[in-house]
Amino acid sequence: MKSHIHATGLFLIHQHSFLLLRRNPQDPQASQWGLVGGQVEPDELPLQAVLREVEAEIDLKLEAAQIQLLDQFELTYPEYDVTFYVFSTTVDQAFDPFMDQAEHLDFRWVTRDQCLQLANVISGLQIILHSPAIKQALEATV
């Protein structure tokens, strides 16, 4: 029987662009682009997990009131299944995030259409980008 994990991702949005991070080559999702986020620990709620991951991955301290849950997805992979909670928040300007080089190689701000054109995006992100809630959040942000 496959294991089941819970994970989070955050659309950190500036205008119609959002932040992607490129995973380290030693990561299970080596050199792929993905959202800021990560696994929910056993003693956490998804909101707590995304706040913790954002601070750990890009050194950005957010408050719970700044983040909105957009959607939840059930994703299936060969090794495990994932309940993936997708959150969003907006920032006033795009910025160069602080990144732990042990976790991430690079970052970029992309539009939804640009992300859909990327070849090396973490599996599941293409599905998430087609969600009406995600499309609306990205289009509504000015």
- The answer to whether 24 and 100 are in contact (CB under 8 A) is no
pLDDT score for 141: 60
- pLDDT over 90 (residue 125): yes
Domain 3-140, CATH among 3.40.30.20, 3.10.105.10, 2.130.10.10, 3.90.79.10: 3.90.79.10
User: Could you tell me the pLDDT band of residue 21, with boundaries at 50, 70 and 90?
Assistant: very high
Question: Which of 13, 37, 21 lies closest to 97, judged by CA?
Answer: 21
- The answer to whether 88 and 137 are in contact (CB under 8 A) is yes
Mind listing the pLDDT tens digit for each residue in 38-53?
Answer: 999 999 999 999 999 9
